[in-house]
Structure 1
Amino acid sequence: MKLVGGLVILGVLAGCASIQNGTRALSGERQAFDGQYYSARVSEDEARPERFVVSVGNLDRGLAGAVEAGRYEANTYCLRNYGLTDIEWDLGPDVPQQSLRIVDGRLTLSGECVGWV
């Protein structure tokens, strides 16, 4: 019985962390990754706004942080526009580092918000 109670408490705490992260994303509060700030922006496809491209700069501050900044921007975009953070990535943050698209010092990720229909 103690194990079940402990698992319930852990589940509640995890849920609170998710809510806090979602609230921070919707508030527009600036988020640091690996202790650094990155310039990131999302562009939507005009014909299909659920499709997007994220561009992240300041890669000299660390690629791992830039990747997470891109993921965060994508999640924030989908959450704001569709109420969910489910993403089907074309080129996402979880690909091997050598497969990431970096052009002119900017990281590019692309995907589609899903589950909103």
Structure 2
Amino acid sequence: MLLAVVEIVVLLVVLALLLSRLGVWSALPGTQRQALAPAVQARWAPAHDEVNGETRVLLRRSRPGPDGVPTVLEDRVFTTFPADDPAWEARFTEAMSNARFRCSYLNAEEEQ
């Protein structure tokens, strides 16, 4: 009788480990999963858009939301120039390069 109880306990432990490894028990509701997930730090990244005929190069601070879609926390206008400027491509390339440098600086500053 004691041997049967020990066998059942061992079988239940093995089954629990198997279910845990397969991820069956890891399907938590969203709020619990969000509470257990480590906090993801927001990051700065360059972005751009066009508003009223002007190209805007932005410094965008965002972080992944609980569903994996980035959540924009802040947009800062880094520079603007006319969208029909004959030197648009050169100005855009230089502005994005400078914005990338500024974003790397801001990210490094926040890590300290």
Structures share fold, TM-score greater than 0.5: no
TM range (shorter): under 0.3
Q: TM-score, normalised by structure 2?
A: 0.25
TM-score by length of 1: 0.24
By percentage of residues, which structure has more helix?
2
| Greater relative CO, 1 or 2 (CA 8 Å, sep 6+) | 1
Richer in strand (by share): 2
